[in-house]
Every structure is written in C-alpha cells, then in structure tokens.
Amino acid sequence: MDFLLLSLGLLLMFVGMAGSILPVLPGVPVSWLGILLLYLAPSIPFDWWVVGITGVVAIGIYILDYIIPSIGTKRFGGSKAGAWGTMIGLVIGIIAPIPFGILLGPFLGALIGELVVNKTERNLAFKAAFGSFVGLLASTFVKFVFTFLYLLIFMYQVWQYKSFWM
C-alpha cells in the first residue's frame, strides 16, 4: 500500500510541476494531492499542519494565478478594461486550440480591452498588454517554485522514513 501511494504521489508531483508551466493542469493543487497521498501512506505519520498549510497555500496560489496577470496589466498603466481583457484573454487562451494561446490570450485581451473600450493610444495599450505578459510569467514562476518546494517536502519525508521501505 505504501509503495502504491508513494508512487502515485510522486507521479502527481511531476504532473504538478508540468502543470505549473502548462495551463491545462492546475499545477500546485495537483502537487498538493501528491503530498496528501504521501501522508496517507501508513508508514508515514500524518501531519495535519503540513497538509493543512500546503493545502491553503495551494488554494491561494491557484486563485492568484488568475489575478496576477491583471495586476501586471494595471502596474504597466492599464485600466480596468485592460485587466478584464487580460482575464478574458487568459480563459480564451486556455480553451482555444491555438499554439501559445496561454501566452497570446492575456496579451491580446489586454491590448483589445485598452484599444476598444478606452480608445487608448497604441503605445499605452501595448505597454499594458506587455504588463499582462509579465504578470503571466510571474505567475508561472511562482507556481513552479511552489511545486518544486512541494516536491522537496515530499522527497524529504520519503528520505526521512526510508527505513520503513527497506
């Protein structure tokens, strides 16, 4: 039973890391499921604090993943229309079957939001759209860092209780 839970947990860790970069998978929550499976293994003592704190962090990052590109748009001079365009473009970019839709969606959404709704001049609209791209990169970086930290927690616990496996 331990081997099965640890194997599935490790698999979820790697899927979560891939999901931190690929928009189709929710990276940090998937990695958290790997931590949960680790602590469900009978040989490892269940630690509510680790599972609870990492779970709350996973939910927080999952929510922030949709907010950070809009914050980037506003930081680079975008308006509410640009921020909403970023969010709409992100959703469309995720579901659209085009290459790089996750990158192009927020950028084009912010650009269109600024140009159409606010009739902003092109330079300012491109600056706001670039802000959405920077926000998306920042969000991806944060997700990757936390999925890597979750992997380290997983590996530390497996290593700490390695005598139970051998």
pLDDT tens digits, one per residue of 79-119: 777 778 877 887 788 787 777 777 788 788 888 888 887 67
**Predicted pLDDT of residue 124:** 80
Closest CA to 9 of 140, 141, 151: 151
Q: Looking at per-residue confidence, does 138 or 152 come out higher?
A: 152
Q: What is the pLDDT of residue 149?
A: 96
pLDDT at 15: 94
Given CA atoms 5, 6, 7, 11 in this order, what sign does their dihedral have?
positive
Q: What's the pLDDT at 57?
A: 95
7's tokens = 């194997």
Taking only the tens place, the pLDDT of each residue in 48-66 is 899 999 999 999 998 888 7
Q: Please, what is the average pLDDT of the chain? A: 84
88 vs 149, higher pLDDT: 149
Q: What is the mean pLDDT of residues 19-32?
A: 85
pTM of the model as a whole: 0.77
The interaxial angle of helices 48-75 and 27-40, nearest 10 deg, is 180
Residue 165 banded pLDDT, cuts 50, 70, 90:
low
Q: How many residues does the structure list for the chain?
A: 166
